[in-house]
Structure 1
Amino acid sequence: MIKVEDLTRRYGSYAAVDSVSFEVQPGTVTGFLGPNGAGKSTCMRMICGLTPPTSGTATVLGKPYAELPNPGRHVGVLLDAAAQHNGRTGREILTLGAIMMGLERRRVDEMLELVGLNKEESRRRLRDYSLGMRQRLGIAHALLGDPKVLILDEPANGLDPAGIRWMRGLLRGFADEGGTVLLSSHLLHEVEVVADDLVVIGRGKIVAEGAKSALLSAAGTTVRTTDDQRLANALESAGFGANPATGGGIHTDALPEQVGRIALEHQVVLTELRQAGTAGLEEMFLQLTAADAREGVAA
């Protein structure tokens, strides 16, 4: 279990993370989402004890990460696949990890096989690894100590479609066996497929959290018509919100049945009418974070 309470990190007057609170339960995958610069990576670094919080607390399995005995045996972390010594081989990196955690050397071979790095690849220097190979090695290192919790920041970055599908199955299987997974990724479709719960952050604050199914079903209604402006005016007159939808049409908080009645009353022809949640996580994410997106700023 991961528990974050009023976690805040300030740099002078700037709050990179501002009073964030959420929990990640055992047996679940929680998608941690937000636009560039939202504070996701800073928050994950505080959970892992790499960045001290200005205020608030973060615990993993009931303790701050730094207080866990032999933390790699309890928590697997992948925050930056490039943060390894380029002059070492993949096998050497895992072997050093096994020595530090007090593991048997056979665990190295098991993890290399699990992530699909063959004997030849495991003997290459990291400087000769592709990004996808680095990610696989990082996942192997995170799983090396047979942890109960995984904290992963963009683990699918650089993986090909087959690799992404493999990783999806790996995380789902880990959670189904009682593990706890906190997953940050910009690959929204993959998060939608694998996640049970979602935490969405924008400009350092949580803008939405809860069960994925509940958040998607509450995303409102998307409608396309032969006269969007006329229907938008009618919806607003009836007390409903009406904004341009991602990809065209109107997004409203009215139910589909209410939209249909208002359109009939005002003689507006509908060409599409559906709950916004059926368009998936991407549309909901863009709606929630439209005011917070900051292109070109690191997360």
Structure 2
Amino acid sequence: MITVEHLTKTYGQHRAVDDVSFTCKPGAVTGFLGPNGAGKSTTMRVITGLTPATAGDATIGGVHYRDIPNPGTQVGVLLDASAQHAGRTGREILTLSALTMGLPMTRVDEMLELVSLTPTESKRRVKNYSLGMRQRLGIANALMGDPKILILDEPANGLDPAGIHWMRSLLRMYADRGGTVLLSSHLLHEIEVIADEIIVIGQGRIVAQGTKAELLATAGTYVRAEDAAALGAAATAAGLTVLASGDGLRIEADPLDVGRIAAQQGLVLAELRAADGAGLEEMFLQLTSETQRDVVASTAGGAA
């Protein structure tokens, strides 16, 4: 289990992480989401002992990372796929890891096969690897010691669709066997597919956390109308939150209330139902709206 308690990290006057607390449980994939600069990578660096905390604490299995004997056999870490010795081959990197952890050399071939790096590719220098190949090598290195816990920062960067599907299956299987996974990603759909628990961070603070079902449960009503702009304006005037959702609207109210508003305005509806889920992207944009660099058009404002 990973436990983060009241973690704070400051750099001069900048507070990168501000009183962050969460746990990652065995048997679950925990998705760690947030805009660029939100504090995800800093938190992961503190957990893995690479950056000292200003205040608070972060432990793995009840101890600090630095106090874990032969940590590669307990915790698999991939924070930056590009931070691998460019002059060495993939096989050499894995061989050094195996030697460091006291593992048999057969483990190297097992990991190369697991991440689908061919014998020819394994003999190429890392500087000639694509980003996707570096990600696969990094994941192989993280899994080398058969750890119980995985900490991965943006592991899907550079992977093609088949590679993303492979990684998703690998992590799901790992968690189903009782492993603990902390996964940071900007690929929101992938987090929505694989994560059991979700943590959303913005400006260094946790803005939401819970199971995926809990966070996506307050979906409100999905509605498609002949005049969506008029319905959006009427719902907004009634004090309701209105968001675009596919080719319709998601309104944070019961279907009956939305139906009443449409009837009062004489609007024709093509579809009206309780939303199955807000969708991770909508939830993410809502919760981190004050920390986004880019302005996202508001359906509520543009519906009139």
Unaligned 5+ runs, structure 2: 295-304
**Root-mean-square deviation (Å):** 2.0
- CA distance in structure 1 between the partners assigned to 2:243 and 2:194 by the alignment: 29
8 Å contact kept, 2:75–2:149: yes
User: What residue in structure 2 maps to residue 177 of structure 1?
Assistant: 177
- Asked if 1:260 corresponds to 2:254, the answer is no
- Asked if 1:160 corresponds to 2:181, the answer is no
Unaligned 5+ runs, structure 1: none
Judged with a 3 Å threshold, the aligned counterparts in structure 2 of structure 1 residues 274 and 53 are, in CA distance, closer, same or farther, namely farther
Judged with a 3 Å threshold, the aligned counterparts in structure 2 of structure 1 residues 224 and 291 are, in CA distance, closer, same or farther, namely farther
Amino acid at match of 2:82: A
TM-score, normalised with respect to structure 1: 0.91
User: What residue in structure 2 maps to residue 270 of structure 1?
Assistant: 269
Amino acid at match of 2:78: L
Deviation at 1:237, TM superposition (A): 5.9
- CA distance in structure 2 between the partners assigned to 1:292 and 1:246 by the alignment: 22
Deviation at 1:253, TM superposition (A): 2.2
User: What residue in structure 1 maps to residue 299 of structure 2?
Assistant: none
8 Å contact kept, 1:6–1:20: yes
- CA distance in structure 1 between the partners assigned to 2:97 and 2:29 by the alignment: 25
- Asked if 1:102 corresponds to 2:93, the answer is no
Deviation at 1:11, TM superposition (A): 1.5
- Asked if 1:112 corresponds to 2:112, the answer is yes
Q: Which stretch of the first structure deviates more once superposed, 38-47 or 212-221?
A: 212-221
Deviations 1:63-112 (A, max 9, x none): 11111111111000000000011000101101111111111111111111
- CA distance in structure 2 between the partners assigned to 1:125 and 1:200 by the alignment: 37
- Asked if 1:49 corresponds to 2:58, the answer is no
Instruction: Say which SS state the counterpart of residue 217 (structure 1) adopts.
Output: coil
Deviations 1:191-235 (A, max 9, x none): 111111100111111111111012112133344434556545654
Deviation at 1:291, TM superposition (A): 1.9
Structure 1's consecutive aligned runs of 4 or more residues displaced over 2 angstroms after TM superposition are 219-238, 240-253, 265-280
- CA distance in structure 1 between the partners assigned to 2:266 and 2:290 by the alignment: 33
- CA distance in structure 2 between the partners assigned to 1:248 and 1:99 by the alignment: 55
TM-score, normalised with respect to structure 2: 0.90
Amino acid at match of 1:242: T
Judged with a 3 Å threshold, the aligned counterparts in structure 2 of structure 1 residues 36 and 272 are, in CA distance, closer, same or farther, namely farther
8 Å contact kept, 2:199–2:210: yes
Amino acid at match of 1:169: S
User: What residue in structure 2 maps to residue 35 of structure 1?
Assistant: 35
Q: Which stretch of the first structure deviates more once superposed, 6-15 or 141-150?
A: 6-15
8 Å contact kept, 1:232–1:242: no
Instruction: Say which SS state the counterpart of residue 31 (structure 1) adopts.
Output: strand
8 Å contact kept, 1:277–1:284: no
| Greater RCO (Cα-Cα under 8 Å, separation 6 or more) | 1
- CA distance in structure 2 between the partners assigned to 1:277 and 1:55 by the alignment: 40
User: What residue in structure 2 maps to residue 282 of structure 1?
Assistant: 281
Amino acid at match of 2:279: G
Judged with a 3 Å threshold, the aligned counterparts in structure 2 of structure 1 residues 152 and 282 are, in CA distance, closer, same or farther, namely same
- Percentage identity across aligned positions? 65
Amino acid at match of 1:260: G
Q: Give the number of aligned pairs.
A: 294
User: What residue in structure 2 maps to residue 192 of structure 1?
Assistant: 192
- CA distance in structure 1 between the partners assigned to 2:71 and 2:273 by the alignment: 47
8 Å contact kept, 1:218–1:277: no
Judged with a 3 Å threshold, the aligned counterparts in structure 2 of structure 1 residues 142 and 125 are, in CA distance, closer, same or farther, namely same
User: What residue in structure 1 maps to residue 77 of structure 2?
Assistant: 77
- Asked if 1:122 corresponds to 2:119, the answer is no
Amino acid at match of 2:256: E
Instruction: Say which SS state the counterpart of residue 76 (structure 1) adopts.
Output: strand
Deviation at 1:244, TM superposition (A): 4.3
